[in-house]
Amino acid sequence: MTIDNMKGTAGRRLLAALFVLGAGAGWVLDPPPPRTPVPPMSSPRLDPPTLPANPSQLERGGYAFWLYCLPCHGDQGQGLTDEFRLLYPADHQNCWASGCHGERPYPNGWTLPSHVPAIVGPEALRSYATAASLYTFIRAAMPFEAPGSLDSETYWDVVAYLAEKNGVLPEGMVVSPDNSDEVRFADFAAGSSAELATPTSLPTLPPATGPGHPPLFWGLVILGISLAGLLLVRDWRVASE
């Protein structure tokens, strides 16, 4: 066999091996299911608050919380707990699944951290000394998927709402840059009469890292590469004899 014939034979065998590999991989890997619209929520806990014609700061803050914060931080500010996620449709309860908010989110989506903390409750927001420091943080970092995208008034509304829910907002105060240092989250008292979120467990469903490739796929990859290599080595040996 000449070198040219050997190269031609080896090339054809290599292509054949790769064809078999590709066919096997196509058989092993299922195409991703088409995305379907999220069905409407049925729990009254997820209903939007009703705003009056001239809402107060707290009423505006409650609506902004529902719109921007509730999907991740829970309807009571309890965090993204198992109990809260059960309110979502069954196929959307694992927020970290591939195609949702896991390592491979949907187009233009984002990846959630593995723990979304409570923002209402005895231990919530204690790392922020005042409403001013909380405003500075959420103004720069929230909403998680579009940081800094809201207007300043909306951020102050949310800060006031969270201060009221945590029992640290002086009665009748409208929170603003002028008085935000007077609202101190560190002063939260365990005996506060504020309606706080019922503590719930942290998420226990394991965050999904995406479907990846099954072991059989990688077995076919190794087999195909090995087969192609053996064919090439054999043909080179035949040609050199």
Give the pLDDT confidence of 38-79 residue by residue, as tens digits: 444 558 888 999 999 999 999 999 999 999 999 888 899 998
Q: Is 119 exposed, middle or buried (0-12, 13-18, 19+ CB in 10 A)?
A: buried
Both 166 and 227 in one domain: the answer is no
Residue 38 lies in a domain: no
Structure tokens at 14: 């290599």
Both 75 and 168 in one domain: the answer is yes
The whole model's pTM is what?
Answer: 0.59
pLDDT at residue 36 tops 60: no
Structural domain total, the chain: 2
- Residue 221: give the domain boundaries: 3-29+213-240
Residue 138 lies in a domain: yes
Give the pLDDT confidence of 95-118 residue by residue, as tens digits. 666 555 555 555 656 566 667 888
What pLDDT sits at residue 108? Answer: 59
Structure tokens at 151: 């207007």
Residue 181 lies in a domain: yes
| Tokens 């942290």 sit on residue | 202
Q: Which of 97, 117, 114 is nearest to 106 (CA)?
A: 97
Residue 217 lies in a domain: yes
Q: Which of 25, 17, 2 is nearest to 232 (CA)?
A: 17
Give the pLDDT confidence of 121-131 residue by residue, as tens digits. 887 888 898 99
**Maximum average pLDDT range among 6-15, 63-72, 206-215, 225-234:** 63-72
First and final CA of the chain: distance in angstroms? 9
Residue 45 lies in a domain: no
Structure tokens at 200: 């719930």
Both 128 and 217 in one domain: the answer is no
Residue 60 lies in a domain: yes
Give CA 64 to chain center in angstroms: 20
Residue 184 DSSP class:
B
**Maximum average pLDDT range among 3-7, 10-14, 48-52:** 48-52
What pLDDT sits at residue 185? Answer: 85
- Binned at pLDDT 50, 70 and 90, residue 133 comes out as very high
Q: Is 72 exposed, middle or buried (0-12, 13-18, 19+ CB in 10 A)?
A: buried
CB 28, CB 220: distance < 8 Å: yes
Both 134 and 93 in one domain: the answer is yes
Residue 207 lies in a domain: no
Both 141 and 183 in one domain: the answer is yes
User: What letter represents residue 235's amino acid?
Assistant: D
Give CA 135 to chain center in angstroms: 23
What pLDDT sits at residue 207? Answer: 44
Both 15 and 72 in one domain: the answer is no
Residue 73 lies in a domain: yes
Arithmetic mean of pLDDT, 132-148: 91
CATH number at residue 102: 1.10.760.10
Give the pLDDT confidence of 166-205 residue by residue, as tens digits. 999 999 999 999 999 999 987 654 444 444 444 445 455 4
Both 152 and 217 in one domain: the answer is no
Structure tokens at 96: 């970290």
